[in-house]
Amino acid sequence: MRNRRFLTAVLAVGGALGIFAWAQNASDGASAATGPERFINHRVQHLTRRLDLSDAQQQQLRTLLEQQVPRFQPLMQRLQAQKQEMFNATQHGQFDAAKVSALANQQSQTMAALIVARQEVEAQIYNLLTPEQRIKFDQMQQHRLQHAHKWMEHGG
């Protein structure tokens, strides 16, 4: 049970980071076509291909994802800054357990916010789907969970 929760958390974090990594591109001054827009196009195309989304569903999905950019971008920027702080605190063999622990706690709070936000988006996507598409979507999620479980069991 504990391992399953851990796997679920790992998947959610991975998804939050992977799916919304485009927010960091946008914050680096990249054009919309190379950041959020590229991600949105990819996600819409992927789900359209896997779930056979209608034109209306594609537009609803696109709108939903576009609305999430302002929500995810600051979280991704905060996480990136926290990773830099951790790097700075531990480079050249430095180690202060209290400082590393404090930084790890900050990162975990940001990751938790990303997980919650991602799961909310997934629920909103689910609600755009027909009953048949929901079955396929659930299968996609289960497949991702199994893939992560295999990865963790075999070390990558």
Confidence of residue 7 (pLDDT cuts 50, 70, 90): very low
- Does 123 have pLDDT greater than 50? yes
Question: Looking at the domain assignment, is residue 150 inside a domain?
Answer: no
| Contact criterion met (CB below 8 Å) for 114 and 79 | yes
Question: Looking at the domain assignment, is residue 131 inside a domain?
Answer: yes
Question: Looking at the domain assignment, is residue 151 inside a domain?
Answer: no
Please tell me the total number of residues recorded for the chain in this structure. 156
| pLDDT tens column, 136-150 | 999 999 998 888 877
pTM for the model: 0.72
Question: Looking at the domain assignment, is residue 21 inside a domain?
Answer: yes
Question: Looking at the domain assignment, is residue 35 inside a domain?
Answer: yes
More confident residue, 51 or 36: 51
Q: Is 155 helix (H, G, I), strand (E, B) or coil?
A: coil
Question: Looking at the domain assignment, is residue 154 inside a domain?
Answer: no
Range of the domain at 60: 2-145
Mean pLDDT of 86-111: 96
Question: Looking at the domain assignment, is residue 83 inside a domain?
Answer: yes
Mean pLDDT of 23-36: 52
Question: Looking at the domain assignment, is residue 120 inside a domain?
Answer: yes
Query: Would you give the distance in Å from CA 17 to the centre of its chain?
Result: 4
Total tally of structural domains belonging to the chain: 1
| pLDDT tens column, 40-94 | 999 999 999 999 999 999 999 999 999 999 999 999 999 999 999 999 999 999 9
